[in-house]
């Protein structure tokens, strides 16, 4: 019997995502001036206020207040009527030094023997459902909000948009797990005040359906475009007026959108957030490594859908387990346990090996903090960091290294494909 599956995303102006972006901007600046920095930065945003907290061990000093303000302004919170803007909000820093009890388990005389920064389990997932090996409902949800942000910045076609927004997509699947059609699209977007609420709702719904959705649809290949249909149920700002939003409407915290950040409810999640954490925290780095493994396994044809789990004990070098679930889609005559054994041989999951293989000691994290950490296109960029205490640093870095299909041939060779 056909079934429905739903994923959601949130915009860069959502309060929780503001917090994530500030935390990752702080991390990038620490790594830019001291690549060995150990960072765990948490951010809280609310009406007119930002609170920075966490633990840092670094040889550099930053103007964290100014970094936070720059992020807020770049997102688009620049007007006093939002009750939250980069130029006027208060910024309180409660950041202190990392616990020596934790540090002694991570730093070792030999970097190769670096222990995991925490215990826990991390998951990576990949599926042939889309060209970027991501779940389709999440991919469309992300794209809706990215295009909506582009329209907001352009300010011409839909001039009344404000930064806070959410999107949700429901897809109907066949019995054999193939997408058949888009059933429902939900978009809630913050907007300027209107004189007439009824006209406002009608105008927003018309613009979302007639301007936004066609732009989103055009960015997908034809087989995905075919899923868009005249019978889609749209819920556009279903609560009505959405003028009060952002941190004035809802407090934001780092790490509260972990499903948006990963696979939209597909696969699994170990519970650890990403943003604000340097790569010694396996919550982040091992989740990236597991995605890298899962994506290359699916791309190589080992299975059509794969979940990879890796787990750690704090301060211990070797992972405590590696698990694989192919959901019955394996294309080989091997059990999932046998596949997992080969994965452990192909992909070194020791913390330092992950850091070096995926180049995670670089300032690459600001770009991950909105619209998902997975499914993006790997690319080289030049980033510039300026500090009143450290001067100016220009770095060429590679973004989203865990999305590279650089192990496909090795996987095929290992599995005699």
Which of 331, 403, 316 is closest to 368 using CA atoms? 403
Which of 143, 126, 144, 145 is closest to 135 using CA atoms? 126
| Cα distance between residue 83 and residue 148, in whole Å | 22
164 marked as part of a ligand binding site = yes
277 marked as part of a ligand binding site = yes
38 marked as part of a ligand binding site = no
241 marked as part of a ligand binding site = yes
16 marked as part of a ligand binding site = yes
129 marked as part of a ligand binding site = no
Q: What is the dihedral of CA 72, 77, 79, 84, to 10 degrees?
A: -80
DSSP string, 35-104: TT-EEEEEEEEETTEEEEEEEEE-S----HHHHHHHHHHHHT---GGGT--TTT-EEEEEEEEPPHHHHH
12 marked as part of a ligand binding site = no
- Do 416 and 331 form a contact (C-beta atoms < 8 A)? no
The neighbour count for residue 35, using CB atoms within 10 Å, is: 15
Do the strands 49-57 and 90-97 form a parallel or antiparallel pair, or are they unpaired?
A: parallel
Which of 367, 372, 399, 401 is closest to 144 using CA atoms? 372
281 marked as part of a ligand binding site = yes
194 marked as part of a ligand binding site = no
203 marked as part of a ligand binding site = no
53 marked as part of a ligand binding site = no
55 marked as part of a ligand binding site = yes
Contacts (Cβ under 8 Å, ≥6 apart) of 200: 191, 194, 241
257 marked as part of a ligand binding site = yes
42 marked as part of a ligand binding site = yes
14 marked as part of a ligand binding site = yes
108 marked as part of a ligand binding site = no
Output the six-digit token pair for 95.
Answer: 């950041």
Which of 265, 270, 303 is closest to 289 using CA atoms? 270
**Binding site as annotated, residues for ATP:** 14, 164-166, 241-242, 250, 256-257, 273, 277
**Binding site as annotated, residues for L-methionine:** 55, 98, 250, 281
**Binding site as annotated, residues:** 14, 16, 42, 55, 98, 164-166, 241-242, 250, 256-257, 273, 277, 281
**Binding site as annotated, residues for K(+):** 42
**Binding site as annotated, residues for Mg(2+):** 16
């Amino acid at each position: 019997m056909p079934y429905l599956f739903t994923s959601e995303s949130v915009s860069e102006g959502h309060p929780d995502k503001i917090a994530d972006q500030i935390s990752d901007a702080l991390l990038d600046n620490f790594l830019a001036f001291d690549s060995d920095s150990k960072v765990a930065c948490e951010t809280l945003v609310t009406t007119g206020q930002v609170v920075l907290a966490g633990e840092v061990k670094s040889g550099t000093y930053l103007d964290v207040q100014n970094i936070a303000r720059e992020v807020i302004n770049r997102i688009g919170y620049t007007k006093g009527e939002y009750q939250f803007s980069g130029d006027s909000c208060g910024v309180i820093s409660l950041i202190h030094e990392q616990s020596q009890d934790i540090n002694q388990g991570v730093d070792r005389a030999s970097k190769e023997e670096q222990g995991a920064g925490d215990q826990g389990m991390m998951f990576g997932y990949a599926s042939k459902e889309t060209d970027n090996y991501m779940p389709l409902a999440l991919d469309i949800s992300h794209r809706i909000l990215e295009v909506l942000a582009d329209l907001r910045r352009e300010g011409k076609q839909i001039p009344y948009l404000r930064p806070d927004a959410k999107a949700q997509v429901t897809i109907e699947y066949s019995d054999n797990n193939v997408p058949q059609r888009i059933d429902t699209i939900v978009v809630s977007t913050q907007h300027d005040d209107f004189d007439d609420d009824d006209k406002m709702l009608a105008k927003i719904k018309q613009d979302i359906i007639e301007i936004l959705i066609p732009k989103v649809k055009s960015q997908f290949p034809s087989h995905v475009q075919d899923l868009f249909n005249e019978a889609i149920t749209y819920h556009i700002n279903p609560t009505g007026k959405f003028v009060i939003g952002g941190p004035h409407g809802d407090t934001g915290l780092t790490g509260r959108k972990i499903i948006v950040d990963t696979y939209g409810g597909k696969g699994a999640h170990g519970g650890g957030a990403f943003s604000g954490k340097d790569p010694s925290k396996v919550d982040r780095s091992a989740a990236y490594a597991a995605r890298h493994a899962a994506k290359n396994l699916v791309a190589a044809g080992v299975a059509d859908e794969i979940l990879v789990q890796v787990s750690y004990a704090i301060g211990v070098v070797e992972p405590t387990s590696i698990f694989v679930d192919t959901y019955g889609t394996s294309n080989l005559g091997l059990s999932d346990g046998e596949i997992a054994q080969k994965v452990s041989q192909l992909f070194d999951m020791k913390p330092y090996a992950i850091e070096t293989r995926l180049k995670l000691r670089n300032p690459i994290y600001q770009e991950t903090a909105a619209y998902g950490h997975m499914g993006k296109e790997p690319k080289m960029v030049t980033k510039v960091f300026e500090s009143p205490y450290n001067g100016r640093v220009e770095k060429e870095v590679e973004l989203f290294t865990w999305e590279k299909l650089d192990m496909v041939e090795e996987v095929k060779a290992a599995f005699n494909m």
